[in-house]
């Protein structure tokens, strides 16, 4: 069934691996069994939307938000699904750590910690320690 995407999400047509990454404004044809859940969570609109969804260009200087990190995680998971041997490239430590970083779910926290450390993260304690160490070093 054709729907309108209202906020980004990763999608698996077979339920096993991510096959698509949809962004606001896309009009994909989704499996019927997925539609009710995606609609109730606000990811899609069935039928005509109340107001048109406009794809916004991302401001490169805007601070990272939890939504940005969730988007980054979805993109990372999609890339890993396409190439499991994807090399992790360290990111300079001048990237933005959101004020609400402690509220981020595991996959978002993992992605943030991996960007800071430039390596795989073992568990949630390791991820928290990486972020806390980075924040302490910045206040240093």
pLDDT (tens digit per residue) in 66-96: 677 777 777 776 665 555 554 444 444 566 7
Whether 113 and 80 share a structural domain: yes
Number of independent structural domains in the chain: 2
Whole-number pLDDT of residue 90? 42
Q: Is residue 53, in this structure, part of any structural domain at all?
A: no
Whole-number pLDDT of residue 69? 73
Q: Is residue 103, in this structure, part of any structural domain at all?
A: yes
- Mean pLDDT, residues 47-66 taken together: 59
Q: Is residue 10, in this structure, part of any structural domain at all?
A: yes
Whether 88 and 24 share a structural domain: no
Query: What Å distances lie between residue 19 and 10, 75, 80, 110, 135, CA to CA?
Result: 8, 11, 11, 21, 35
Q: Is residue 79, in this structure, part of any structural domain at all?
A: yes
Q: Is residue 50, in this structure, part of any structural domain at all?
A: no
Task: Please report the beta strands in 20-137, taking only residues with DSSP state E, as ranges in sequence order.
Answer: 20-22, 44-45
Q: Is residue 129, in this structure, part of any structural domain at all?
A: yes
Whether 41 and 70 share a structural domain: no
Whether 33 and 76 share a structural domain: no
In the numeric block, which tokens belong to residue 17? Answer: 């691996």
Q: Is residue 104, in this structure, part of any structural domain at all?
A: yes
pLDDT at 111 over 50: yes
**Selected residue with higher pLDDT from 71 and 113:** 113
Confidence of residue 129 (pLDDT cuts 50, 70, 90): very high
- Mean pLDDT, residues 24-51 taken together: 77
Whole-number pLDDT of residue 59? 59
Whether 70 and 133 share a structural domain: yes
In the numeric block, which tokens belong to residue 19? Answer: 């096959």
Whether 41 and 101 share a structural domain: no
Whether 40 and 91 share a structural domain: no
- The total of other beta-carbon atoms located within 10 Å of residue 119's CB is 12
Whether 120 and 70 share a structural domain: yes
Whole-number pLDDT of residue 89? 43
Query: What Å distances lie between residue 112 and 3, 87, 118, 128, 134, CA to CA?
Result: 31, 16, 10, 10, 11
In terms of residue numbers, what domain contains 72?
66-139
Whether 70 and 35 share a structural domain: no
Can you tell me whether residue 4 is helix, strand or coil? Answer: strand
Confirm whether pTM is higher than 0.75.
no
């Amino acid at each position: 069934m054709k729907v309108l995407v209202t906020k980004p999400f990763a999608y698996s047509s077979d339920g096993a691996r991510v096959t698509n990454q949809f962004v606001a404004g896309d009009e994909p044809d989704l499996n019927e069994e997925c539609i009710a859940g995606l609609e109730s969570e606000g990811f899609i609109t069935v039928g005509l939307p109340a107001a048109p969804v406009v794809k916004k260009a991302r401001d490169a200087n805007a601070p990272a938000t939890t939504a940005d990190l969730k988007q980054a995680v979805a993109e990372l998971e999609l890339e890993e699904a396409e190439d499991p041997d994807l090399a992790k490239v360290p990111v300079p430590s001048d990237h933005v750590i959101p004020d609400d970083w402690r509220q981020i779910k595991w996959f978002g926290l993992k992605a943030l910690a991996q960007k800071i450390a430039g390596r795989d993260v073992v568990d949630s304690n390791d991820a928290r320690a990486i972020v806390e160490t980075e924040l302490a070093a910045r206040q240093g």
